[in-house]
């Protein structure tokens, strides 16, 4: 499959994530949108990695080109998992305090 | 020789330090002895230097390098040659007489002020010696500035009087205007030649290297410097105001130091001036106009010192006329004789003022002939000398200048003759009003009239003898003399101006000038021995009495516009523009802070929105970069 397909898909997913973060007020959905953006980036990384590997293999059969990008993806997944656990914990605490998960209530720092 | 020359110049400096630093500790007697003694010591050293130069020719002594870089080298050298050794004698000789005179004249001052006075006086002599001795224009400029400073200090010696301070400032500022011209000339010389030493600048080869425009520019700027120091049109008004200082100071400024600096400088640079016809003409025209203008003013003044001051300006005009027509040795001759009789006249005037208890108005004097016999005789000799009556000194020097002027241009000669007549007239008007007729002052003053002490009359007598016989150094050939001075200066003055006039013409010229001076003299004597001048009623009399309204003209044409401009700068530029810019910056920051603050509204969504917008903008800028575009292009090619 041409690389453009992946790029367009990732662009779309990322944009949906951005728009979701900007427009939605529900904290959980915002959170999901952030995950969406992260995964869009992951997908792109994997796609480029594969592309690079394919190109390098034509020159050398034993190449390891592109392997670093896939390792990077795993890092992102681990970090995302840690982030989700903390994020959800924050949301739970927030709900206990305000009985709402609307992020527009999160303006206590103002004033 | 090195040590001898150092002695000449270091004695006055030692006197300055001694009196200046110890003014609160020494007694007046010690101060007077020290100050006068140092100058006399300097005079004796000068005599030895003079005799040395007579036997061995000019010497240059090197002390150290004042400035030493790759491109320019300014050594601290002194040059003692025929010209500077003559000036040394005049400065220290007349200077020591004036010091001696001052010890008695300033007796009323308290010890600290007495010491301050002598410290300034010594510093004045020191600066003038530095000016004359220097072997390059930079050292001359140092002395030049020092002289300006000392004149300021001495004119404003009685600093509690506001008017005197004003006169001091006027002298200083006028001098500064001239100094700027001198400084620019020095820069020009450095730019063109890379050196300022006389031995390198003032040679025929160097002059040949300069274009005529350069020479004209440099000489004109030098002349501007001379104008300021030597009080020529348009920078002469400070000199009459300099009368605010004590009378011996006036004598020092007018005779031995300061005003002769300009003449010295031009004579020193005569090679340059001879090569610029334009400058020579300008020098001559300014000289003769100053001579006439100052003479007309002197006729109408009633202050004894003012008359003498304008007569100095007038005589300086003659000297510049001499320089302009190429009679350099004549101008130096006149400097020397003028130093004698003008110092004599000022010190005589000081003696009169001393006797009259600080009365300076000649209308309140009269009949002092019998009361002040020594002052009277010496003053009379001074008047005769300045009027150009043979065989007194002024006759020979003035006649030499007039003969050279006749040769160059008849108009200069005619005007010079008119000036000479006026000189004789105002000097004898002064003499007759002061010494002849009846006493017109108060009874109290009359009771206190007394001849001055010996310390004051002795300098008068010495100067009177010099005024009477000083002409002997330059008796012209037609009178059987061999003009010693011209011979002396023949090594300095590049083209000795030998008068090419026929013997009979020269006799006629001399006879004419003497006759005219004598007529003016007799008119003045007959008119003023009985009566005095009242306030002038005719328009022209008023015009002269008010000094051609030149001070008023400067006030209107220069000072007031400058004040207005300064006010404009203060009120508009300073308050509106500069303060506006400074305050505006502060206000702008405050205003924008107040507006930008509102963006930070605490809504997380907005923060994210701004972040995203920022990132998009960043990316847009990023991807506009041609190298990135090319990179992406190569990627897609694969």
pLDDT of residue B373 exceeding 90, the answer is no
By percentage, how much of chain B surpasses pLDDT 90? 25
Partner-chain contact B602 A109, CB within 8 Å: yes
Note whether residue B624 is domain-resident: no
Residue B303 is classified by DSSP as B
In this prediction the pTM is 0.78
Note whether residue A12 is domain-resident: yes
Q: Residue B185's closest CA among B124, B273, B259, B126?
A: B273
B605 CB within 8 Å of a chain A CB: yes
Note whether residue B471 is domain-resident: yes
Residue with tokens 């007309």: B296
Per-residue pLDDT at B140: 92
Residues of A in contact with B605 (CB under 8 A): 22, 25, 103-104
Q: Residue B409's closest CA among B327, B333, B503?
A: B327
Note whether residue B555 is domain-resident: no
Note whether residue B374 is domain-resident: yes
Partner-chain contact B601 A110, CB within 8 Å: yes
Note whether residue A110 is domain-resident: no
B160 CB within 8 Å of a chain A CB: no
Q: Are B270 and B330 in contact (CB under 8 A)?
A: no
- Find the CATH number of the domain harbouring A52: 1.10.287.3510
Q: What's the gap in Å between the CA of A82 and the closest CA on chain B?
A: 21
What's the whole-number mean pLDDT along residues B201-224? 87
Query: Mutation test of the interface with chain B: which of A21, A52, A55, A56, choosing the one with the most B Cβ atoms within 10 A?
Result: A21
Query: Mutation test of the interface with chain A: which of B597, B598, B599, B604, choosing the one with the most A Cβ atoms within 10 A?
Result: B604
Which sign, positive or negative, has the C-alpha torsion A97, A99, A104, A110?
A: negative
Partner-chain contact B605 A103, CB within 8 Å: yes
Note whether residue B618 is domain-resident: no
Residues of B in contact with A55 (CB under 8 A): 638
What's the whole-number mean pLDDT along residues B487-503? 66
**Sites in chain A below the pLDDT cut of 50:** none
Residue B360 is classified by DSSP as -
Note whether residue A49 is domain-resident: yes
Note whether residue B578 is domain-resident: no
Give the structural domain span for B41: 2-545
DSSP string, B444-462: HHHHH--PPPHHHHHHHHH
A109 CB within 8 Å of a chain B CB: yes
Number of domains in chain B: 1
Per-residue pLDDT at A43: 93
Note whether residue B147 is domain-resident: yes
Note whether residue A94 is domain-resident: yes
Per-residue pLDDT at B498: 53
Alpha carbon dihedral B471, B476, B482, B488, in 10-degree steps, equals 60
Residue B368 is classified by DSSP as T
pLDDT of residue B533 exceeding 80, the answer is no
Q: Give how far the C-alpha of residue A55 lies from the chain's centroid of Cα atoms, to the nearest Å.
A: 26
Residues of B in contact with A33 (CB under 8 A): none
Note whether residue A93 is domain-resident: yes
Label residue B7 by pLDDT band (50, 70, 90): confident
Note whether residue A111 is domain-resident: no
Give the structural domain span for A41: 3-105
**Strand partners of residue B68:** B73
Number of domains in chain A: 1
Note whether residue A63 is domain-resident: yes
Query: Mutation test of the interface with chain A: which of B608, B611, B623, B631, choosing the one with the most A Cβ atoms within 10 A?
Result: B608
DSSP H helical ranges for B22-81: 28-56
pLDDT tens, B386-441?
988 877 888 888 888 888 888 888 888 899 889 989 999 999 988 888 888 888 87
pLDDT of residue B130 exceeding 80, the answer is yes
Per-residue pLDDT at A106: 67
Label residue B587 by pLDDT band (50, 70, 90): very high
* CB neighbour list of residue A91: distance below 8 Å, 6 or more residues apart: A27, A28, A31, A101
DSSP string, B259-278: THHHHHHHHHTHHHHHT-HH
């Amino acid at each position: 499959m041409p690389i453009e397909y992946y790029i367009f898909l990732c662009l779309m997913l990322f944009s949906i994530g951005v728009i979701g973060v900007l427009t939605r007020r529900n904290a959980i959905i915002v959170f999901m949108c952030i995950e969406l953006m992260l995964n869009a980036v992951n997908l792109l990384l994997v796609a480029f990695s594969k592309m690079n590997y394919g190109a390098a293999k034509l020159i050398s059969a034993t190449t390891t080109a592109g392997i670093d990008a896939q390792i990077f993806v795993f890092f992102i997944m681990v970090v995302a998992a840690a982030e989700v656990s903390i994020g959800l914990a924050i949301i739970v605490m927030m709900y206990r305090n305000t009985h709402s998960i609307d992020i527009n209530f999160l303006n206590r720092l103002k004033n | 020789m090195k040590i001898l020359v150092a002695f000449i110049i270091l004695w006055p400096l030692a006197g300055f330090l001694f009196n200046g630093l110890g003014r609160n500790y020494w007694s007046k007697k010690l101060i007077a002895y020290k100050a006068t003694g140092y100058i006399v010591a300097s005079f004796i050293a000068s005599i030895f230097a003079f005799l040395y130069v007579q036997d061995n020719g000019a010497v240059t002594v090197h002390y150290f390098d004042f400035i030493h870089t790759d491109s320019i080298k300014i050594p601290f050298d002194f040059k003692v040659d025929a010209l500077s050794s003559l000036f040394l004698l005049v400065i220290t000789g007349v200077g020591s007489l004036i010091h001696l005179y001052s010890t008695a004249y300033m007796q009323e001052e308290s010890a600290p002020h007495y010491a301050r006075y002598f410290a300034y006086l010594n510093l004045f002599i020191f600066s003038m010696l530095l000016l004359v001795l220097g072997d390059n224009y930079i050292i001359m400029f140092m002395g030049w500035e020092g002289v300006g400073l000392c004149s300021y200090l001495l004119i404003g010696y009685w600093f509690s009087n506001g008017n005197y301070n004003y006169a001091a400032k006027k002298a200083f500022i006028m001098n500064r205007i001239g100094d700027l011209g001198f400084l620019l000339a020095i820069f020009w010389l450095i730019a063109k030649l890379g050196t300022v030493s006389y031995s390198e600048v003032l040679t025929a080869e160097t002059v040949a290297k300069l274009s005529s425009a350069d020479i004209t520019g440099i000489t004109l700027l030098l002349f501007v410097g001379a104008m300021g120091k030597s009080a020529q049109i348009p920078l002469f008004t400070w000199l009459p105001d300099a009368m605010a200082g004590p009378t011996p100071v006036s004598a020092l400024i007018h005779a031995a130091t300061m005003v002769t600096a300009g003449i010295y400088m031009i004579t020193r640079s005569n090679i340059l001036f001879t090569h610029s016809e334009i400058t020579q003409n300008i020098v001559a025209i300014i000289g003769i106009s100053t001579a006439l203008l100052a003479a007309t003013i002197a006729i109408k003044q009633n202050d004894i010192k003012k008359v003498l001051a304008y007569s100095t300006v007038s005589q300086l005009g003659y000297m510049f006329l001499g320089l302009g027509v190429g009679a350099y040795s004549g101008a130096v001759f006149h400097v020397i004789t003028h130093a004698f009789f003008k110092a004599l006249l000022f010190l005589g005037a000081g003696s009169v003022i001393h006797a009259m208890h600080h009365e300076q108005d000649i209308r309140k004097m009269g009949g002092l002939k019998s009361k002040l016999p020594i002052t009277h005789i010496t003053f009379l000799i001074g008047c005769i000398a300045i009027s150009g009556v043979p065989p007194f000194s002024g006759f020979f020097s003035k006649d030499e200048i007039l003969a050279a002027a006749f040769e160059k241009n008849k108009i200069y000669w005619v005007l010079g003759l008119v000036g000479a007549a006026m000189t004789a007239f105002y000097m004898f008007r002064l003499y007759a009003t002061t010494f002849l007729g009846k006493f017109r002052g108060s009874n109290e003053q009359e009771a206190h009239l007394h001849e001055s002490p010996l310390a004051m009359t002795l300098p008068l007598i010495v100067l009177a003898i010099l005024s009477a016989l000083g002409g002997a150094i330059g008796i012209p050939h037609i009178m059987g003399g061999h003009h010693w001075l011209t011979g002396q200066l023949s090594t300095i003055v590049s083209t000795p101006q030998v008068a090419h006039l026929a013997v009979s013409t020269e006799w006629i010229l001399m006879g004419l000038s003497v006759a005219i001076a004598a007529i003016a003299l007799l008119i003045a004597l007959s008119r003023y021995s009985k009566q005095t001048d009242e306030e002038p009623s005719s328009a022209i009399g008023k015009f002269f009495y008010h000094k051609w309204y030149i001070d008023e003209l400067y006030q209107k044409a220069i000072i007031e516009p400058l004040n207005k401009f300064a006010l404009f700068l203060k009120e508009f530029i300073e308050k509106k523009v500069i303060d506006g810019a400074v305050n505006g910056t502060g206000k702008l920051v405050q205003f924008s802070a107040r507006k930008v603050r509102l963006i930070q509204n605490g809504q997380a969504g907005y923060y994210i929105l701004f972040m995203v917008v920022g990132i998009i903008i960043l990316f847009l800028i990023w991807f506009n970069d041609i190298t990135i575009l090319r990179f992406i292009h190569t990627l897609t090619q694969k």
